[in-house]
Structure formats: structure tokens, C-alpha cells
Structure 1
Amino acid sequence: MSAGKTSVLKKQIILLLQQTSTDNNKMPLARSLLSSLALVMPAQSVSGTNPDGLYCHVYNRGIEHKIIFNDEQDYNVFLGYLKEYLSAPADPESSKKVFSIRGRAFRGTPHQPKNYFNKIELVAYSLMPNHFHLLVNLKQKDALQGFIRSLCTRYSMYFNKKHQRTGSLFQGPYKSILIRDETCVLHLTRYLHTHGASSYPEYVGTRATPWVKPAAVLSYFARTKTDTFKGVRFYKDFVEKYQPGPKEIELLEKITLEDMTKQFESRLQAKNKPDVGTRIKASELLAASGIFLILLALGVRNIMGSTAKITPAPSPTPIVLSETADVKTPKTMLIIKITDGSESVNIRQKPTVGSNKIGEAKEGDTFEFVSVNSGWYEIKLADESTGFISARYLEVMPEK
């Protein structure tokens, strides 16, 4: 595509976006056009590679899809190991301790776990009951294998001892994929931050964790020339309001190491519900428009799979449902697990703590899974309506 044609297309896109501000019915057309252009724009003039290292997405799942995070303590222990590996090592003198051998006192440094500070940076993470995702920046290429092996082995030993089990905890060697494109990184962080216990609070400024590094991703939103689409607020809109199209879903299937088809189907089914007919608000339209322009400017470049740790497989063909399609999918059930001593947990109208309380759930109650939204599970209630419960109080029930 020539520079002249690209300039003309950009003007047409901006004009189309301006028109949608007064005619919301044209938004699907703008969304489709912009998302497809974002994926086919030439990247020769876009500086999208990471000069300071390589982005790598790492994924591992429990053996036979079994739970690997059974309660809040399990999540905290796993995150604690990440903190030890990725934080600056303690001063050797300050870590020395006095110990005795056969009545004689000695002062020395206890055995310390390996440290990967300045070798690996954690960009984003998502922990689900039966699997985990890590997006890392490899400062030293050969550090990844030792880091993940040590992390998984150490956590497996903890989990087996605590829950009195033996054998493998994970289904096998971890999977990983190298990502050389900024747009892919943006889409992947959005995906991770809408699932399970994640690094989303670090991105929106509600939690500070020195060993989680959101700056590189947030800097993409600072490159736009207009202040309207800059900063943390706009990233929040990107995560919570942006709806990926078929092209983005196809892209995510390549980099998430999971099947996105089922999630795509559930979104289509939700859109086809007769009671879902709210018009797009002007603020949401403006946010979506800005997101598309940023993605358009970044473009999409090469994705290179790590052949050492991932076996290439054909991507599933996305299923597009018609309005009359009747697709039966197995139900995923969730069970309430309360670990903080409370008698019950609140069911909220929306996935926020400040949302209206519409009910309560007690230990052992079960619900049908609907979706995941930024650390909240959307569940189906007895009257066929839906509500939200914090992911920390729910576990996925094993399939029978």
C-alpha cells in the first residue's frame, strides 16, 4: 500500500469516526474497517521491535486440566516466588545469619534461590485456577528455561506437600511464544487483564509492585499526539470497552496458546440476547475510536513461535453463529470456596466492589460460568439473570 493511499484511507477513517459520533449505527462498519486496516498496514516505517529484549508469552496448565491454585494462599505463594526471582537481590552482608554446628557458632549466607533480576522482566501476568500466563521481557535470552523450570518445580513441591499429593502438577513442559510486535503485546495484555488474578491493578495505578513492569505497554498510549487518548485512563478503556473483531481473535489464537473460539462464541451469543440493546455512549465511542487509531499507527508485524517449547498446530477455525444457530457447548461450573472466614460472599450487579449487591453466596454453592471480567466471574443465577463474584472466592469444578 503506497503512502498516498494510506493517507487517504486514514482521512476516510477519521471522517467515518466523526460520522459515528452522530450516527451510532455506523459503528460496526468503522470497527470492522479500522481493525482490518490495523492488521494489514505496512510496517516498514513503524518502529515496533523491542530494542531492549524480546517479549515472550509463557503458559502452563495443570495436568489433566486439574486445579493448580486451590485457594488464596496458593496464589500468594506463586506470586511470592515471582517476587524472589525478579526483585533485586539482597545485599550479601544483610542476608547473613548466625547458625551453629556441633556447638560452634558460624555466620554465613543461607542457600538462596536463583535470581533473574535484570535478566527477565515481568510485563504482565494472569493466574487462573488451573493454568497461568506470564508475559516477560527477556533481557537475557537463555535465562527463560531455567527461570520457568525453577518456578514450576518449586511451586509443585509446595503444592504437593500442602495438599498431600504426589506426581506431576503440570501437564508437561511449559509452552512459550516469542512476540516481536507491539500490537500483539497490547492485545495480549488486554486478554490477560480480563482473566483471573492478574497484573491489571499495576496498570491502572491501584497497586504498586516493583517487579511488575507496565511502563513499556503504557508508553504506547503516550505516543498519540492528542491528550484525549493518553495515559492510564485510556488503557483502562482499551481493556474494559474494546471489542476485538475476527482478525484480532485470530491473532490472539496464535499468541495466547489457548483456543479463543469458545470465548468468541460466548460474546456473539451475549450480543444476540434480546434484552441487550443499549446504545453506545459518546464517551465509549470516543475511547474506541482512539484505540483503533493507536492500533492503526502501530501496525502488526512478525510473530515467531518458540520451536523449542511449542509444537505448531493448525489454528481452530472461528465459528460464526447465525441468529438461529443452536450450538450446545458443555457447561463450566464454579463452586464457592471461602478462605477468609466470612459466612458468605456478595454477588454484585457489575464487576466492581462499589456495584449494587444483588445477592449472597455461601460455601459450596455452585453456579454456571458465563464469562470472566478483570478478576470477576460472571455467573448465571437461578432466575436466568447474571451477577458477578470476585474470582478469589470461586474455583472451577473438574469436569465429570
Structure 2
Amino acid sequence: MRFIHNLFEFNDAQPLPNNTYLFKTNPSGFASPNIERQQKQRRPRILLAEMLTFCLMKNHYHLLVRARSKEWLTLFMRRLNMGYANYFNLKYKRAGALFEGRYKCIAVDNDAHFIHLPFYIHCNPLDYFAPNWRERDVKDYKKAFAYLENYRWSSFPDYIGKKNFPSVTQRDLLLKFFDGPEQYKKSMTSWLKEMDSRDISQITLE
């Protein structure tokens, strides 16, 4: 949960406030970032990058961002990775690097790639439900999408109108492109059933 919080908190060109880590506990027992409270206590953010989509996996994460500049993107990623590593080391009383090497990124300058990437990122949690989904080996698409809708560590629920972490992402661009939440889900369903991994093999970093 701290990593999701950092996606919001560190995406700001201004100096970070002293109340960086404000958390609340929800009924499920998870510690959730109290983003609404932080927004009332701080001046408006100056985004280092527009966070279009994200997905947090067990040992890595995927982001689709629209950066204001290369320098601002570098600053955001450094804050994000170093901030989480410092938190993790402090919590678990360890030292040293947490991530292997620098983050990897690829510029998306092809409209076709841009159309595929949000779907690909949002489908990544299917690795835990239908590991062969990239080969279109999904036994039950209805259950697969139910799994994605209930996977908390992704921006997908927010894209289909289920409030999850709405303050973390800037969704207007993609939702306008796909004509709203309902059409986004329909388009992603069609993409998953018909996908060809070669369409994005050059830009997935996997």
C-alpha cells in the first residue's frame, strides 16, 4: 500500500510536505493512504508526470506516464524508487539497494502501441489467475475480468468506474479516447480475446 501512496505523493515538482505519510485504516484492515486529507492540507500539486495507468505486481510494477520532460520523469522515478526503498529498509531493518539497477523505460511514439499498452498493463494481474493469458489461453473470460476488477493494486477499477485510487491517476485522456468507462471495458475485453503479443513485444520490457 505504501507504494501506491508514493505514486501520488512523489508526483509533485514542489518540495514534499512534512505530512508525507498520512495513513488511515479501512474496514478490511488495510492501511490506506489518506489522500483526501492530504489534498486539503497542501497546496495543489505540480505534476512531474501524468500517471495514465499503473499496476503493482508481487516483484515489479508497470506504469504508463506522460512526462512533462525527461528531467522531471527522472526526478519522479528517483523519488518513487528511493522513497520506497528507504521505507522498506527501515520497516524490515535492512540496508542496501532494493531494486536491481535503474528503472527501465521506453518512449511510446506509435499510436498503435499506445492503444495496446493500457490494456496490457491492466491485464498483468492475470498472471496469478490465468498464467497463459498472453497466448489467449483464458478458460473463463467473465471470471478473468471479475478478478481484474477486484485486484486492488491497479488503476483498472478506476477506469471502469469503480472507485479504488482515483487521485493517483489522470484518466481523462484515455477515457476520452475510449469513449468512457463502459467502452473501455468492452474494448479491453475484445483486445484480450484477440490479442497478439507481437503487437507490443517491442515495448513491454518483458
Q: Is TM more than 0.5 here?
A: yes
Q: Partners of 1:172 and 1:88 in 2: how far apart?
A: 24
Residues 183 and 214 of structure 1, relative CA distance in 2, 3 Å threshold: farther
* Matched AA of 1:143: W
Normalization by structure 2: what TM-score?
Answer: 0.65
Where does residue 198 of structure 1 map in the other structure?
154
Aligned partner of 2:89 among 139, 160, 166 = 160
* Maintained 8 Å contact 1:124/1:199: yes
User: How much has 1:89 moved relative to structure 2?
Assistant: 6.2
- After superposition, the C-alpha distances for 1:148-207 in whole angstroms (9 at most, x for unaligned) are 112111111111221232222111111000012333122111011112321001111111
8 A contact 2:12–2:48 mirrored in 1: no
2:9 and 2:203 mapped to 1: Cα distance? 27
Report the CA distance shift for 1:118/1:135 in structure 2 as closer, same or farther (over 3 A). Answer: same
Q: CA deviation at 1:77?
A: 0.6
Letter in 2 for 1:174: Y
Structure 2, unaligned runs of 5 or more: 20-43, 126-152
* Maintained 8 Å contact 1:85/1:116: no
Counterpart of 1:214 in structure 2 is 171
Aligned to 1:233: 182
Choose from 62, 70, 77 the match for 1:141.
70
TM-score of the aligned structures, taking structure 1 as reference length: 0.35
Q: 1:205 to 1:245 in 2, by over 3 A?
A: closer
Check the 8 A contact 2:11/2:76 in 1, yes or no. no
Once the 2 structures are TM-superposed, how far is the Cα of residue 127 of structure 1 from its aligned partner? 0.4
Which is higher, the Rg of structure 1 or of structure 2?
A: 1
Q: Which residue of structure 1 aligns with residue 141 of structure 2?
A: none
Provide the C-alpha distance between the structure 1 equivalents of 2:194 and 2:101, rounded to a whole number of angstroms.
31
Q: What residue number does 2:8 align with?
A: 83
* Partner-residue secondary structure (3-state), 1:178: coil
Q: Distance in 2 between matches of 1:134 and 1:82?
A: 10
1:174 pairs, out of 94, 103, 109, with: 103
CA RMSD, 1 decimal: 2.6
Structure showing the higher strand proportion among its residues: 1
Q: Is the 8 A contact 1:121 1:211 kept in 2?
A: no
Instruction: Give the fraction of aligned pairs with identical amino acids, expressed as a percent.
Output: 33
Distance 1:164 1:119 in 2: 31
5+ residue gaps, structure 1: 1-75, 96-114, 223-230, 259-400
Instruction: Choose from 198, 202, 205 the match for 1:254.
Output: 202
For residues 177 and 122 of structure 2, what CA distance do their matches in structure 1 show?
A: 17
- Closer, same or farther: CA 116–179 of 1 in aligned 2, 3 Å: farther
Residues 111-150 of structure 1 mapped to structure 2, 5 A cutoff: 117-150=46-79
- In the TM superposition, 1:39-50 aligns within 5 A as none
